[in-house]
Chain A
Amino acid sequence: MGNLDIKLKVDASGLSCPLPILKAAQGVKTIAPGELMEVIATDPGSVKDFAAWAGSTGNALVESDSADGKYRFVFRHK
């Protein structure tokens, strides 16, 4: 955690597969390379899905954690 400079926050709470991924994909296009995007999701499947998405796109997953049924991911736009 700490003082990351988050450029964009995407709230995908309550959304089912594949919407969290689609929202992240749309979001990341709006920020510049090197900038950070935070995604919040409640779909437990999104944990593995976002790892796969990061691997496939090259947008690095720099931080992730979960609390109270919410999953938080921070990606760096490649």
Chain B
Amino acid sequence: MTAVATAPTVQAASEGAVKTKKLVIIDYSGELEKTWATMILTSTAAAMEMEVSVFVTFWGLQTFVKDKKRITGQNWMQKMMSFMQRPGASHRHLSQMNFLGMGPWMMFKLAKKYNVSKPKDLLEMSQALGVKFYPCQMTMDMFGLKREDMIDGMEEPVGAATALQLMTEADSTLFI
């Protein structure tokens, strides 16, 4: 047996109270690989006992629509938008090499082979670990999304001012 992992920070941190660090993510893109990165970071940050808030806006909102919803929106344009790309955490497209779904299919195959959790699982773990997801009211209105279209456990919808307040008070902010 050989010794591993001797980090000086461990000792220092274990001696006194650790200040709670705050992470804010603006979840904007809704693309598969970026959503994956978001969910890895939110779940891990929460596991590291950071306070994590995610402002969900524009295409990011599509990730948080219930998987079983097929068409969302009230008018034909909003419905058309949801028809062109199916909403839900399990139906994200890749930004590159999507190839009509071949790319995501291969990504999920590889993830399974290497025991990597899917974005949907990591999203559920994030929620269980207390990550707060704030939907953007303005984009919800624009896409015609209702609260009942969205997954359970999200915070009340907020606006840009709340997002900015979260960002200025955070130790780290990411726009993904």
Q: With A18-B122, A61-B10 given, name 5 new contacts (CB 8 A).
A: A16-B114, A21-B47, A57-B49, A60-B10, A60-B13
Interface mask (B44-83 → A, CB under 8 Å = 1, otherwise 0): 1011111000000000000000000000000000000000
Q: Once the chains bind, are B14 and A22 in contact (CB under 8 Å)?
A: no
Q: Once the chains bind, are A73 and B5 in contact (CB under 8 Å)?
A: yes
Q: Does A54 contact B (CB under 8 A)?
A: yes
List A41-78 residues whose CB lies under 8 Å from chain B. 47-48, 50-61, 64-67, 71, 73, 76, 78
Q: Does B4 contact A (CB under 8 A)?
A: yes
> Which B residues fall within an 8 A CB radius of A?
1-7, 9-14, 17-18, 21, 40, 43-44, 46-50, 114-117, 122, 125, 129
A-B CB contact pairs (8 Å), 10 listed: A1-B1, A16-B116, A25-B47, A48-B7, A51-B7, A55-B7, A57-B13, A57-B48, A64-B5, A71-B4
CA distance A66 to B6 in the complex (A): 13
> Which A residues fall within an 8 A CB radius of B?
1, 14-19, 21-22, 24-26, 47-48, 50-61, 64-67, 71, 73, 76, 78
Number of A-B contacts (CB under 8 A): 96
Q: Once the chains bind, are B14 and A54 in contact (CB under 8 Å)?
A: yes
